[in-house]
């Protein structure tokens, strides 16, 4: 998760570097490409494969969990996180080619999606059937709104400077 959080942070800095004058823009872009590549291929991607292998092993050891509703929902969020991982990889490849489709604000919101997925995965694993699903859904929606509001407030104060 730390790799995904930091990767999108690098994307934000990489995107904002495009507003800099030359030669600063080129120097920063090359440095961000090196940092993104090392983070991705040395930390984030191997970690993802290790976590998926550990999760499959856990389900082989305790297959009864596959009969529980909370596990189905949790696995849906895990699949969402894996899709998020590969979308980030695509973003990295686009930036390497000089394609910057998202603004830094859009990337900040994108980064919060990983936070929501992490929150939902941990929430489901820890609480399992302890709480009503209604409270869980309301909690995730409230958490989402709080995160989105925080990004907008941050943008407001950043642009005010």
* Structure tokens given for 147: 């995160």
pLDDT value at 134 more than 70? no
Phi, psi (degrees; rounded to nearest 5) at 100 = -125, 90
pLDDT value at 131 more than 70? no
pLDDT in tens, 43-92: 999 999 999 999 999 999 999 999 988 888 889 999 999 999 999 999 99
* Structure tokens given for 29: 């872009």
| pTM across the whole model | 0.82
What percentage of the chain reaches a pLDDT higher than 70?
A: 94
């Amino acid at each position: 998760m730390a790799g995904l959080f930091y990767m999108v942070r690098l994307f934000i800095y990489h995107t904002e570097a495009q507003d800099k004058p030359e030669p600063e823009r080129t120097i920063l872009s090359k440095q961000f490409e090196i940092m993104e590549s090392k983070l991705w291929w040395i930390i984030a991607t191997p970690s993802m494969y290790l976590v998926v292998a550990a999760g499959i092993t856990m389900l082989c050891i305790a297959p009864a969990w596959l009969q529980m509703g909370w596990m189905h929902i949790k696995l849906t969020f895990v699949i969402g996180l894996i899709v998020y991982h590969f979308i980030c990889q695509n973003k990295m490849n686009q930036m390497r080619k000089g394609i910057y489709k998202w603004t830094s604000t859009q990337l900040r919101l994108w980064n919060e999606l990983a936070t929501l997925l992490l929150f939902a995965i941990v929430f489901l694993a820890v609480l399992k059937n302890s709480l009503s699903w209604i409270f869980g859904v309301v909690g995730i929606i409230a958490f989402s709104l709080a995160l989105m509001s925080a990004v907008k407030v941050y943008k407001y104060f950043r642009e005010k400077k």
